[in-house]
């Protein structure tokens, strides 16, 4: 492991992550990626520690990824899913967390459909003066930091597998496409990617773009212009290089990476979308549309993918363009890194 200083006790948001922290995660994950290529993929780092996966919202992929990461660090794991929980018995979420604390949990990995729950639990743990760490595994439409960090690691590793670091993304053009409004993945990615100095371009239908971005529009008049005017233009936001598009093409043009987001099919019934077919035509990524991008463009998706909606089926399986499998593999290494950095801070 690289010798680094790491003082962060919880990982709840990427909003205040420093460049040094991003690089520590990237380097530590790179070390673990190397461990994972060995036949015996375990290290004893967290032996005797307990990682509790408290998933108040169902998840197979993220829960398995954290569970495997914990096991490969030799931690003991406890799994909690709300279906079999005391939540239905009237216990509060903080009480549940305190129960796992009292059992001797060292790290809590928390997913909840409400934004702010991991933060609330972390605040309570700090108030109690205990050493338990909280990892946000996705809270409502707020953040999903480990997903954004694994996306970052995946992208940086494409550019330099030996030495992935934040600076590699400087001036790269990265498009984030899809349901940005409801996406905690997008929110976390915007923090990490703009911190890297990349040019980040969001593309979504107006109904799936968050109102909040209006606050960031610079005082060059773009923020005040008519809806029609914005639609086909770009708006540079703050001093971060964040651009918003209501059409796909300007975001894809010369892009180095295209991050697609999962579309919740429920959005259809909420009248935020025309049809899945029309959505795919306008914002779905295909091999043809990729020709607008850099020749060596790569495509990401946090999964699970609705084939033929966010991404065409052939593109998804094309190893030349798709990083989807690499993201899953990175996920274990990055989560090992997070658990390791947080867990080692305890001793």
Candidates 21-29, 37-45, 144-152, 252-260: pick the segment binding a second copy (CB under 8 A): 37-45
In angstroms, rounded to a whole number, what is the distance separating the alpha carbons of residues 137 and 345? 20
Q: By CB under 8 A, tell whether 158 contacts a second copy.
A: no
Is residue 298 a contact point for a second copy (CB under 8 A)?
no
CA distance 268 to 275: 7
Q: What string of DSSP letters covers 27-61?
A: HHHHHHHHHHTSSS----TTTT-EEEEEESS--SH
Q: Between residues 91 and 215, which has the closer beta carbon with respect to a second copy?
A: 91
Nearer to a second copy, 61 or 277 (CB): 61
Residues 89-128 that bind a second copy (CB under 8 A): 89-92, 95-96, 98-104
Q: Does residue 275 belong to the site contacting a second copy (CB under 8 A)?
A: no
Q: Return the range that interacts with a second copy (CB under 8 A); candidates 41-49, 144-152, 193-201, 242-250.
A: 41-49
> Would you state the structure tokens that stand for residue 328, as one six-digit string?
């899953």
**Residue nearer to a second copy on the CB measure, 23 or 329:** 329
- By CB under 8 A, residue 58 contacts a second copy: yes
User: ∠ at Cα 285 (280, 286), nearest 5°?
Assistant: 100
- Give how far the C-alpha of residue 309 lies from the chain's centroid of Cα atoms, to the nearest Å: 20
84 lines the binding site for a second copy (CB under 8 A)? yes
The span from the CA of 96 to the CA of 92, in Å, is 6
Residues that bind a second copy (rule: CB under 8 A) add up to a total of 56
16 contact partners, CB below 8 Å, separation of at least 6 = none
DSSP string for 138-188: EETTTB-HHHHHHHHHHHHHHH-SSS--GGGGTT-EEEEES--TT-HHHHH
Q: Per-residue DSSP letters for 18-35?
A: -HHHHHHHHHHHHHHHHH
The residue within the footprint of a second copy, chosen from 119, 133, 260, 329 (CB under 8 A), is 329
Q: Which stretch binds a second copy (CB under 8 A): 56-64, 113-121, 193-201, 243-251?
A: 56-64
**Shortest CB 281 distance to a second copy, Å:** 18
Check binding of 78 to a second copy (CB under 8 A). Answer: yes
Let me know the angle formed at the C-alpha of 334 by 170 and 133, rounded to the nearest 5 degrees: 115
Structure tokens belonging to residue 260: 């697609």
Per CB under 8 A, 143 contacts a second copy: no
SS (H, E, C) 222-233: HHHCCHHHHHCC
331 binds a second copy (CB under 8 A): yes
Smallest distance, Å, CB 197 to a second copy? 29
**Interacting residues with a second copy (CB under 8 A):** 36, 38-42, 47-50, 58-61, 64-65, 67-68, 71-72, 76, 78, 80-81, 83-86, 89-92, 95-96, 98-104, 265, 303-307, 325-329, 331-332, 346-347
């Amino acid at each position: 492991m690289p010798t680094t200083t790491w003082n962060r006790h919880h990982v709840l948001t990427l909003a205040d992550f420093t460049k040094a922290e991003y690089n520590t995660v990237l380097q530590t994950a790179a070390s673990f990626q190397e461990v994972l290529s060995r036949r015996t993929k375990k290290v004893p780092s967290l032996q005797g520690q307990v990682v509790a996966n408290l998933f108040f919202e169902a998840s197979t992929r993220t829960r398995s990824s954290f569970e495997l990461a914990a096991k490969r660090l030799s931690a003991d794991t406890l799994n909690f899913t709300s279906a079999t929980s005391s939540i239905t018995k009237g216990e509060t979420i903080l009480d549940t967390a305190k129960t796992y604390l009292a059992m001797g949990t060292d790290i809590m990995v928390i997913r909840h459909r409400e934004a702010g729950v991991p933060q609330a639990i972390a605040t309570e743990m700090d108030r109690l003066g205990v050493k338990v760490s909280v990892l946000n595994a996705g809270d409502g439409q707020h953040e999903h930091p480990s997903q954004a960090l694994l996306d970052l690691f995946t992208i940086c590793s494409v550019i330099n597998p030996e030495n992935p670091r934040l600076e590699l993304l400087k001036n790269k053009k990265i498009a984030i496409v899809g349901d940005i409004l409801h996406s905690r993945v997008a929110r976390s990615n915007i923090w990490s990617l703009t911190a890297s100095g990349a040019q980040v371009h969001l593309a979504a239908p107006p109904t799936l773009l968050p109102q909040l971005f209006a606050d960031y529009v610079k005082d060059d008049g773009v923020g005040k212009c008519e809806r029609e005017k914005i639609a086909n233009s770009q708006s540079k936001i703050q001093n971060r290089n964040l651009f918003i598009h209501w059409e796909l093409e300007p975001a894809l043009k010369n892009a180095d990476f295209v991050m697609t987001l999962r579309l919740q099919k429920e959005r259809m019934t909420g009248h935020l979308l025309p049809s899945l077919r029309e959505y795919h035509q306008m914002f779905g990524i295909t091999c043809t549309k990729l020709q607008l991008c850099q020749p060596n463009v790569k495509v990401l998706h946090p999964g699970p993918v609705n084939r033929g909606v966010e991404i065409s089926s052939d593109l998804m399986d094309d190893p030349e363009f798709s990083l989807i499998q690499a993201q899953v593999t990175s996920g274990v290494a990055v989560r090992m890194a997070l658990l390791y950095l947080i867990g080692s801070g305890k001793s």
